[in-house]
Homo-oligomer: A and B are copies of this chain.
């Protein structure tokens, strides 16, 4: 490995494009082209550059490229949780689209916190991302303002916008909540409880759908709503089942805003000797893997997480490339999985 240009002063000590070019006997910018746009360079020259790259172990400096080209090749993704399987599947969909394109994904976990979202977005904006993928439709004014000022393409995931302005890929959380409740009503249940955790916007929209269905049947009763802001877990579901039964002992069905909660509620019923669905029907949301396998298997709403990520990333890429996109909203729908528990 020959050091063609001695690193001095503030040099990083790493191999630079100039050194590659020198070894290949071409100008820097020709070496640059041979690497970035190999088709625009003669074959022999390309080969000489490639060889120099290999011999020197050249690693392009992304910061320098970003600075010179005013293009970062970075895409920022903000999700509210990584422990929730829903969002890891969304990420898988995103990766499958973007990994191919030498994009660098900045994955941020906001932990359902506006403050954390503002902070992460602020940091990510310093990288001048080509595009941004956000979870949910509502954000703090500060976030809205930063996005506005940045002029960077944004696609929202997991829900749909009420006004058709913003780009969004998902399904109607409201509609899904409504659908599940109607299913329960159609099965003859009257005292249907709603169990909500986290109280993020998606949970709240599902709750609204639930309320609409209950109201339509003249069955709305605030006492049937058990809502807490703690994160959704199996343990919480077990606890809330107890709370629901003490507040509304005559409750004959429970719509859990999340499968975790439903699993916990069902386990708790098993411990208390309450049979599901005979004494009480229990259903969840999202169709996590265990729902199909548990005894009783869990009635739930299957949501297209992977496809949300996949389509959102595809849409964002089109936006970045300034292609014309057919629509701002992509509704991927949802599926009610009627199983044993309700």
> Known contacts being A263-B290, A270-B295, is A109 close to B127, with CB within 8 Å?
no
Q: Select which of B122, B123, B234, B294 is within 8 A of A289 by beta carbon.
A: B234
> Known contacts being A59-B126, A234-B290, is A88 close to B83, with CB within 8 Å?
yes
A83 in contact with B89 (CB, 8 Å): yes
A325 at the B interface (CB under 8 A): no
The answer for the CA separation of A123 and B107 in the assembled complex, in Å, is: 15
Q: Which residues of B contact A328 (CB under 8 A)?
A: none
How many residues of chain A have a CB within 8 Å of chain B? 54
The answer for the CA separation of A82 and B107 in the assembled complex, in Å, is: 11
**Stretch among A45-53, A61-69, A192-200 lining the B interface:** A61-69
User: How far is the CB of A98 from the nearest CB of chain B, in Å?
Assistant: 11
State the oligomeric state as a number of copies: 2
Q: Which residues of B contact A61 (CB under 8 A)?
A: 67, 126, 128
> Known contacts being A235-B293, A293-B264, is A106 close to B106, with CB within 8 Å?
yes
The answer for the CA separation of A235 and B293 in the assembled complex, in Å, is: 8
User: How far is the CB of A96 from the nearest CB of chain B, in Å?
Assistant: 10
Q: Which residues of B contact A289 (CB under 8 A)?
A: 233-235, 260
4 tightest CB-CB pairs across the interface, nearest first?
A63-B66, A62-B126, A82-B88, A12-B70
Interface, chain A (partner B; CB < 8 A): 10, 12, 14, 57, 59-64, 66-67, 70, 72, 82-83, 85, 88-89, 91-92, 95, 99, 102, 104-107, 109, 119, 122-128, 149-150, 233-235, 238, 260, 263-264, 267, 270-271, 289-290, 293-295
